[in-house]
Amino acid sequence: CISMKSEDYLELPDRIEHDVPVILDKAAAKAYRDLETNMLLQVDEEEIVTATTRATLTGKLLQLCNGAVYDETGEVIQIHDCKMEVFTETLEQLQGQHVLVYYYYRHDVDRIVNALAGSGLTVRVYRGADEEKAWNAGEIDVLLAQPASCGYGLNLQDGGHHIIWFGMTWSLEEYQQANKRLHRQGQKYPVIIHRLIVKGGMDEDVIQSLEHKDKSQEALIAALKARVDRVREGIQ
């Protein structure tokens, strides 16, 4: 048995990863430091967000990077618009090219939809076959998708070649498979993956983790291929 990447036997277009820095304003940076240091964030006199474990803290910090957090009752507390502003600027720079946007938390998609209301863009949230068909037909300007729900089996290469990661995932498999929705056989253009990364935030840790896992996986595949080649040479 040998593991092969699609690039090994298919002719695919280039794939470019473009990291877009997000700088938190003073208030947002202070909120981030307070939560990271004290595992507690007081938004105002009444609303307090706490993280009882390190795992919970990691999730809260990722949410805060995106601009909002869930409180103890599941309500959404808006913290900042820093990443949203960079997101809309990135869309403007693409000058109308269709974009597949990956979000992670439910409050991400709700805030993105609100931010793009009145923009004149056709914005849809991926639900199933109807969105897949409309996207590939060029009827959707911005398609919002959760990587865990559409990472496999979808052919979206006909609808565009730009991806924006608004919220990152820790899972290398989810990340790779989600990007493969556009970077696959039949894609006519280089696929550009824009990753919105909060400087000094948990976003950077996620990127480092993904890159480390990817390098380890590449090393394993390379070792397997080398061993197979040695065995074949021995047989011949």
Q: Which residues contact 212 (CB under 8 A, 6 or more apart)?
A: none
More confident residue, 217 or 162: 162
Phi/psi for 21 (5° steps) reads: -70, 140
pLDDT at 51 over 60: yes
More confident residue, 225 or 7: 225
More confident residue, 45 or 194: 194
Question: Residue 2: pLDDT band by 50, 70, 90 thresholds?
Answer: very low
Convert the pLDDT of each residue in 154-213 to its tens digit.
Answer: 899 999 999 999 999 999 999 999 999 999 989 999 999 999 999 999 999 999 999 988
Predicted confidence at residue 219, as pLDDT, reads: 55
What's the chain's Rg over C-alpha atoms? 20
pLDDT at 67 over 70: yes
Predicted confidence at residue 9, as pLDDT, reads: 44
Q: What is the mean pLDDT of the chain?
A: 87
Predicted confidence at residue 1, as pLDDT, reads: 45
Query: If you write DSSP's letter for every residue of 131-167 in order, what string do you get?
Result: HHHHHHTT--SEEEE-HHHHSSS---TTS-SEEEESS
Predicted confidence at residue 39, as pLDDT, reads: 83
Phi/psi for 90 (5° steps) reads: -65, -40
In angstroms, the first-to-last Cα distance of the chain is: 18
